[in-house]
Amino acid sequence: TLEPDSEVLLTFDVHVHPYCPALLNTKTITNLARARAVDGDIITAEASYVAKCPGYDADGGIQFEPHENPIDLDDLTQVPWQGTVWNKHPISVSLGIFQEVQDPSRPSNEPETRPLSEITLAPDEKRPIDFDLVIEHGAEDDLSPTPAPYTVGRLFFCIFVGEDNACANANDYPNLEGEIVPPVWVPDPEELGDAPDRTNHFAGVAMTAYPGVQANFPTVFDPGTGADQGPKHRKPQLLYLGPGVSREAEADLGPDADGINNIWPPADANDQDWFDDGARLTNLANCQPARVDVRVNSSQPAVNWFGNNNRVAYLNVWLDSNHDGDWADGFTCVDEAGQNKEVVEHILIDYPVDVAALGAGLQTLNNIATERVGWPAQGADAARWVRFTLSEEPSNKPLNYSGIVYGDGRGYATPFRTGETEDYLWVLEGAQANGPDVALQLQGQIVPAQGGHEVRLKFDYANVGTVAINGATLTLSKNVLNVESIIRSVQGPGLHEGDVSVNGDKIVVNLPALAPNGS
């Protein structure tokens, strides 16, 4: 309450937001005071003063420095960006970081603006920052021979101008908005085989196919090695064998979605792709056709592409019949009628798979007859390497044996557009390992729970052998947790509560029975 003819001194702090047009050093700020007289009328007074602009400059005062970004082989839609951001101003600054992504599904093809991150920096502060960029719509589905590089649209940032963390109009205040250079390239997550290969990236390091037998299977792709390229599939996620597919930059080095390379020559390690889960070979008898069963997984973009271009995919199979560490050989065998027959280790040549007719999803093709197979009785129960390749192009066939034009499992200097190669060290019934071949992938997660923490374990279990699995167990050491553990719940097809138990310092899982090629 004020007496007549009295005065009041108002003192308050003013937050000078960076609403200053470009190239201006000052801005007039008007303060307005209001009071209500006894009779109810509002009286006002205002005072203006010239404030110094903060001097923000997005182009020169903010610097983004990208680091070498890792390849995310598990996600074709997200591109990680990692780096540092530096505030060169002598005053603090709050930034918003955004991505504009073109999406044909939006009205008028308007770009979508996605917020990526917000950060406040002190004067002259440099700080690490990371965020995920979205690949523009459709890039992951491109099956053209020379597809355009993946793009992530426009990256930009703005200096926030108020407590609501909003960007100013860029047309009126261009000095408050800046550009971030997007990634120059985004590597395709590709797919290769995992059979041992002596022509690898480790000079002088040979690999063995079997004990005492050198491996000469073409698996490593790199044309720079001067050796025959193994098959490489540029976009396997569109068309592949079995329920899943894993991706890798190369067979023996570089990033791999499985966390381990398909082959590792220094340790003579091979057969390390976790998703060889879509094919099997049966009914092997000398000089007789064998049988191939495959599961083909097609995406809708692949179905559309094969249908629109009136094309089919091709399935090829190789078998190391004579156990010598390659798929290049030809033989003369004697059939059931006592006739000589010429056979090669390329036992299924360019079998057509009508992707458009199969449709999207996981489809099964059973009892595909191969060519006659060389399978001499001597050593017939020994393990053999088998390769299955599904691709949009016919196989590379540089060899000729008695008029049979065939290949040895190699690919081309240019990768296949899509498809998958699955290599198996096939353990046949009657062999030393008795047929079943267990594939297992284990994932874990620790989450807060009442009274402590809960460990959730998930395992994917498959039989890639030729004989059913019965009575298998999975044993986990619980010492890694260094705490007492109890089993809370068990879920999964064929798995019951009593199938998981704690036995001393171990957790034992009784795995359900599984037929060949089951998962």
pLDDT in tens, the chain (519 residues): 677 788 778 787 766 555 676 667 787 888 888 888 777 788 888 888 887 777 788 888 999 998 866 555 455 556 778 899 999 999 899 999 999 887 666 666 678 889 999 999 999 999 999 988 877 655 556 676 665 566 677 899 999 876 778 888 888 888 899 999 887 655 567 899 999 999 999 988 999 999 999 999 999 999 887 889 999 999 999 999 999 998 898 999 988 887 789 999 999 999 999 889 999 999 999 999 999 999 999 999 999 999 999 999 999 999 999 999 999 999 999 999 999 999 999 999 999 999 999 999 999 999 999 999 999 888 788 889 999 999 999 999 999 999 999 999 999 999 999 999 999 998 765 444 445 667 676 666 666 666 666 777 777 777 766 678 888 888 876 555 555 667 777 777 777 778 888 777 778 888 888 887 677
Q: Which helix (H) or strand (E) holds 426?
A: strand 420-426
How far, in Å, CA of 276 to CA of 55, rounded?
Answer: 60
58-180: CATH architecture = Sandwich (2.60)
Angle CA 402–405–407, to nearest 5: 120
Query: Which pLDDT score is estimated for 142?
Result: 67
Q: Which two tokens stand for residue 435?
A: 């047929």
Residue with structure tokens 């071949």? 437
Residue with structure tokens 């491109």? 142
Q: Which two tokens stand for residue 146?
A: 């020379």
How far, in Å, CA of 406 to CA of 345, rounded?
Answer: 9
How far, in Å, CA of 54 to CA of 336, rounded?
Answer: 93
Query: Which pLDDT score is estimated for 487?
Result: 76
- Indicate the domain borders of the chain: 58-180, 192-426, 438-510
Q: Minimal CA–CA distance to 456: which of 496, 490, 417, 503?
A: 490
Q: Which two tokens stand for residue 276?
A: 């060889």
How far, in Å, CA of 178 to CA of 61, rounded?
Answer: 10
Query: Which residues, including other chains, have CB under 8 Å from residue 167's CB and lie 6 or more apart?
Result: 96, 158, 160, 161, 176, 177
In angstroms, the first-to-last Cα distance of the chain is 82
Chain centroid to Cα 296, Å, comes to 19
Count of C-beta atoms within a 10 Å radius of residue 415: 20
How far, in Å, CA of 315 to CA of 324, rounded?
Answer: 24
Q: Which two tokens stand for residue 501?
A: 């138990």
Query: Which pLDDT score is estimated for 455?
Result: 72
Residue with structure tokens 């490489």? 232
Q: Which two tokens stand for residue 152?
A: 């992530």
How far, in Å, CA of 374 to CA of 380, rounded?
Answer: 10
Backbone angles phi, psi at 150, to 5 degrees: -60, 140
Under a CB-based contact definition with an 8 Å cutoff, are residues 21 and 54 in contact? no
Where would I find the beta strands (DSSP E) of 102-153?
112-121, 126-134
Count of C-beta atoms within a 10 Å radius of residue 386: 23
Q: Which two tokens stand for residue 495?
A: 């798995």
Under a CB-based contact definition with an 8 Å cutoff, are residues 376 and 384 in contact? no
Backbone angles phi, psi at 201, to 5 degrees: -85, 5
How far, in Å, CA of 101 to CA of 104, rounded?
Answer: 10
How far, in Å, CA of 419 to CA of 363, rounded?
Answer: 14
**What's the chain's Rg over C-alpha atoms?**
33
